[in-house]
C-alpha cells in the first residue's frame, strides 16, 4: 500500500509538471504583485513598472537574473531563521517557476475573471492623526543626483510626554524616497548638526553622528503602505521637549526632484507607561570581544560581540547597521539557565543599500542573565564588489562612507524581574 502511494505521488508530480507550463496570468503576475509591484508600479522607486504582461516580458531576462541571484526583492533576512513580519522573499520553487516561464517562451495565459486590485501587504492609514510632523520646507535634489541621505530635524513642542499607538510615514516624493529612519533626540545634538549644514537638514550617510534617546524609533521602506499599529499595551513614547529626526535615504535621479515628507501619529488615550517600547542600541563596537575594530587592506574579518542581560526583556524588532565592507550578520541568544539557543536574525548577504528594521511576528522573550551574541563579517578586499574605496585601505570605525560600522539597534521592552 505504502509503495503504491509513493508511486502514485511520484507519477502525479511528474505528469503535472510536464502538463502545465508556467504562464504569466496564472503564475507570474500574482508573484510579482506580492513581491515586486509594491516598488515597481510606475509611481515608486522601482525603476521600471512590472505591472503588465508587456513590461514584464520586455524585462524578463533581467527579472530572471535578479531573482535567481537573490538581488530582488531586496529583502535580506534569511527565511526560516526566525519569524519576521511581512516577509518578502521568493522561495526556491517560486524562483524556479519564474525561470521556467522565461525558458518556455513567456506564455501569457488567460486573464483571470477577477482582478486583484489592492496590492497585498497594504494596511490601513491613519485618517485623523492627532499629530503631524512635517519637513518645514521641501528638500531640493539637483539633476543627476546620486544616492544620498539627509537628516531633517523637526521640533516636537508639546506640553507633556505623549504615547503613540500608530505611526505612519508619508513619503513626499515616492520616486526618490527609498527609506526613512525616524529617531527621537532629547539632547539638542540633531538641531546643532542641522545648524552647521547650509542645506535644509544635514548630510549623514548612515547614522546620525550620535546615538539619540530613541534610535530608529520607526523605520519605513518603499514597499510599505499604510500605518503601523502597535498592540496595546505596547506604545511608543514622544517626550514633550524633543526633536523628531527624519533620516531620509534618497535614490539617484536623472531629473531634478523635490521632496516634502511627513509623519502622522495617532495617540493613545489610556496610557500604560510601564510597557512602552524603547528603541535602543544593543551592540556597539564596545561590545566586541575580539577588537579593536580595525580591518586592514585586503583582509576578511569576523567581529564577535556579547551582551549580558541585567533584566528579562522582550525584543520586538531588530536592525543591524554596517556599511560597504560588511557582508553578513548573525544575531542569537543563549539562555543562562537552560542553555537553549534562540535565533534572532540572520542576514547572509548584507547590502548597505537595503537596510531595514525587521519586526518579529512574536516578540522574543529572553530571561535575565541570558547572553545575546552578534557576529558580523567584513571583506575589505577586491573580491567584495560593494567596496567603494579601491585599492582597499585600512578601515576603522566611523559613520563616514570611508569607515565601517558595527551597530545593532533594537526595539525592546524591559520586563519586571
Ligand atoms: C523595496 C522596493 C523594491 C522591491 C520590493 C523590488 N524592487 Fe526591483 N528595484 C528596486 C529599486 C529601487 C531598483 C533600482 C536599483 C537599486 O536601487 O538597486 C530596482 C531594480 C530592479 C531591476 C533592475 C536591476 C538593475 O541592475 O538595474 C530589476 C530587473 C528588478 N528591480 C526586478 C525586481 C523584481 C523581479 C522584484 C520582485 C521579485 C523586485 N524588483 C522587487 C526596488 C524594489
Q: What is the pLDDT of residues 170-193, one digit of tens each?
A: 999 999 999 999 999 999 999 999
How far is 83 from 50, CA to CA, in rounded Å?
28
Q: Using a 6 Å cutoff on CB, does residue 129 contact ligand 1? A: no
Establish whether residue 39 lines the binding site of ligand 1, counting it when its CB lies within 6 angstroms of any ligand atom. yes
3-state DSSP assignment of residue 76: coil
pLDDT tens digits, 81-109: 889 888 888 999 999 999 999 999 999 99
Q: How many CB atoms are closer than 10 A to CB 253?
A: 18
> Ligand 1 mean position to 46 CA, how many Å?
5
**pLDDT tops 50 at residue 4:** no
* Across 122-126, average pLDDT: 84
Which helix (H) or strand (E) is 365 found in, with range? strand 358-366
Helices H / strands E in the chain, number of each: 6, 22
3-state secondary structure of 29: helix
**Residue range 131-275, CATH number:** 2.60.120
* pLDDT tops 60 at residue 8: no
* Residue that has been written with the C-alpha cell 575594530 in this structure: 293
| Ligand 1 pocket member 222 (CB < 6 A) | yes
Task: Transcribe 265-331 into DSSP letters.
Answer: EEE-SS--GGGBPEEEEEE-GGGBSS---EE-TTEEEEEEEEEE-SS-EEEEEEEEE--TTEEEEEE
Query: What's the rounded Cα separation, in Å, for the pair 299 and 85?
Result: 35
Contacts for 125 with CB less than 8 Å, ≥ 6 apart:
168, 226, 227, 264
**Range in 234-243, 270-279, 291-300 the model is least confident about:** 270-279
Residue closest via CA to ligand 1's atom 33 equals 72
Residue whose Cα lies nearest atom 10 of ligand 1: it is 46
Q: Which three cell numbers mark 57?
A: 516580458
* C-alpha cell, 172: 513626499
Grid coordinates given for 389: 574605496
Assign domain 278-414 one CATH number from 3.90.79.10, 2.40.50.1020, 3.40.50.880, 2.60.120.230: 2.60.120.230
Overall average pLDDT of the 316-339 stretch: 96
Query: How much distance in Å is there from the Cα of 93 to the middle of ligand 1?
Result: 20
Distance (Å, rounded) from C-alpha 208 to C-alpha 127?
31
Ligand 1 atom closest to Cα of 66? 29
- Domain boundary assignment for the chain: 14-103, 131-275, 278-414
Q: How far is the CA of 35 from the centre of ligand 1 (A)?
A: 10
User: What is the value of pTM for the model shown?
Assistant: 0.89
For residue 205, pLDDT beyond 60 = yes
Model pLDDT, residue 14: 41
What's the CA gap between 238 and 272, in Å, rounded? 14
Ligand 1 pocket test, pick from 37, 40, 221 with the greatest ligand atom count within 8 Å of Cβ, gives: 40
CA 172 to chain centre: 19
Q: Which of 59-63, 251-255, 287-291, 410-414 has the lowest mean pLDDT?
A: 251-255
Q: Is 174 in the pocket of ligand 1 (CB under 6 A)?
A: no
Amino acid at each position: 500500500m505504502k509503495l503504491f502511494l509513493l508511486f502514485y505521488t511520484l507519477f502525479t508530480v511528474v505528469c503535472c509538471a510536464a502538463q502545465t507550463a508556467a504562464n504569466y496570468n496564472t503564475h507570474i503576475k500574482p508573484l510579482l504583485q506580492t513581491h515586486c509591484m509594491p516598488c515597481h508600479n510606475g509611481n515608486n522607486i522601482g525603476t521600471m513598472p512590472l505591472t503588465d504582461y508587456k513590461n514584464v516580458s520586455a524585462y524578463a531576462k533581467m527579472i530572471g537574473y535578479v531573482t535567481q541571484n537573490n538581488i530582488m526583492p531586496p529583502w535580506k533576512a534569511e527565511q526560516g531563521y526566525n519569524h519576521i513580519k511581512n516577509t518578502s522573499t521568493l522561495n526556491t520553487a517560486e524562483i524556479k517557476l519564474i525561470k521556467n516561464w522565461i525558458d518556455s517562451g513567456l506564455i501569457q495565459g488567460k486573464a483571470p475573471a477577477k482582478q486583484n486590485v489592492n496590492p497585498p501587504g497594504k494596511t490601513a492609514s491613519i485618517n485623523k492623526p492627532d499629530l503631524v510632523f512635517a519637513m518645514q520646507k521641501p528638500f531640493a535634489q539637483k539633476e543627476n543626483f546620486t544616492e544620498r541621505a539627509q537628516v531633517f530635524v523637526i521640533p516636537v513642542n508639546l506640553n507633556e510626554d505623549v504615547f503613540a499607538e500608530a505611526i505612519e510615514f508619508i513619503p513626499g516624493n515616492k520616486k526618490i524616497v527609498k527609506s526613512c529612519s525616524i529617531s527621537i533626540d532629547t539632547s539638542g545634538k540633531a538641531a546643532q548638526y542641522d545648524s552647521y549644514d547650509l542645506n535644509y537638514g544635514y548630510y549623514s550617510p548612515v547614522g546620525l553622528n550620535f546615538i539619540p534617546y530613541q534610535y530608529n524609533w520607526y523605520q519605513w521602506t518603499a514597499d510599505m503602505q499604510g500605518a503601523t499599529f502597535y498592540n496595546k499595551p505596547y506604545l511608543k513614547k514622544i517626550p514633550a521637549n524633543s526633536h523628531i529626526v527624519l533620516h531620509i535615504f534618497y535614490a539617484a535621479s536623472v531629473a531634478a526632484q523635490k521632496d516634502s515628507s511627513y509623519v502622522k501619529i495617532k495617540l493613545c488615550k489610556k496610557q500604560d507607561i510601564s510597557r512602552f517600547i524603547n528603541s535602543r542600541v544593543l551592540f556597539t563596537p564596545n561590545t566586541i570581544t575580539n577588537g579593536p575594530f580595525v580591518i586592514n587592506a585586503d583582509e576578511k574579518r569576523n567581529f564577535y560581540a556579547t551582551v549580558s542581560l541585567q533584566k528579562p526583556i522582550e525584543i520586538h524588532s531588530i536592525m543591524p547597521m554596517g556599511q560597504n565592507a560588511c557582508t553578513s550578520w548573525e544575531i542569537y541568544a543563549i539562555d543562562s539557565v537552560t542553555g537553549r539557543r534562540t535565533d534572532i536574525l540572520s542576514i547572509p548577504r548584507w547590502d548597505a543599500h537595503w537596510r531595514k528594521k525587521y519586526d518579529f511576528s512574536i516578540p522574543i522573550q529572553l530571561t535575565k542573565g541570558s547572553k545575546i551574541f552578534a557576529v558580523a563579517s567584513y571583506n575589505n578586499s577586491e573580491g567584495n564588489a560593494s567596496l567603494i574605496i579601491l585599492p582597499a585601505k585600512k578601515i576603522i570605525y566611523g559613520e563616514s562612507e570611508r569607515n565601517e560600522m558595527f551597530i545593532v539597534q533594537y526595539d525592546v521592552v524591559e520586563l519586571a524581574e
